[in-house]
Structure 1
Amino acid sequence: MPFKKHSRQYDIVVYGATGYTGLITAEYIANHFPTDTKWAVAGRSAQKLEDVVKTCKGLNPDRKPPQVEVCSLNDADLAVLAKKTFVLIATVGPYARYGEYAFKACAEAGTHYFDCTGEAIWHGAMIKKYSEAAKASGACTIHALGIFYASKRFPSRAMPNK
């Protein structure tokens, strides 16, 4: 299904794409989303993000590769990033420590927000703090999307037994 028409630079940004869950998410997009999806991978390290782009190109050389967005973990950088995309998938955790920047930016910018955390207390705090901003901007915020699903879907990426 195509994305809703919008005027933003990207349909989707995977924030935290160099981490475990972010890379799985980027790989899934590279393999399964429409080839004309406008997307980016975002994080702090340009070199690590370029490695993610190479991985995605290797998985599906026929699709448009993701762009790279270098973005620090702060209000200003995430506000800029959120305004560039229709959907932001946040994979930077622990969310109680690092997640508020992206959540706030999306709620204020009208950007749809998804994460994969199971930190229920944090979910409640974010909803209480930013629900009015999200309602006003039209942002949908969805927590705990696909939590603990990756090891079944991508057995090669499953966490090793300790």
Structure 2
Amino acid sequence: MTEESDFKKLVRERMAQTGENYTTARAAFRPDEPAAARPSDPQPEQSVTDSGLAAYRSVAPKVTIDELVLLSALGVSVDEFAALRAAMPGVAVETLVGAPVMGLTADEIVAWRAIEPTMDLDTMLGSLTVGLTPERFLDYRAGLPTISAAEAWALLAAGVAP
């Protein structure tokens, strides 16, 4: 019951922000659910709407409506959000959600942060894009202790093995 009232509140807040009618605003949160579906129908994946506002707010008490919409649209579960938040505390939600979209896991973030505590998400994503794993970076670092991720990218692109 509370979960459904949290959802309705979320829909009404979106209506107020966007000027959409209830059906359109509701569809933004549950795009795969027909308008006539009952709230008790099981959903295939756990999303913002299934988990409820309270579950996400337990991870980030000040999560905004826009952030919840983003989490829902990208299919980021409460557990995934919690793992990302733990891996990169204080990072904005709209930045964090880029990680799973690009295929970067919370475990990979933790591995990169163990090597470079201040490494930003963009650098991690860039490393993933060029095939530079934390392990391979450590291999480069063994021979060049002050090498940066960007320098390792250049060596990797040039075919220079660690």
Q: Which structure has the greater CA radius of gyration?
A: 2
Higher RCO (CA < 8 A, seq sep 6+): 1
Larger strand percent: 1
Q: What TM-score do you get using the length of structure 1 for normalisation?
A: 0.21
Larger helix percent: 2
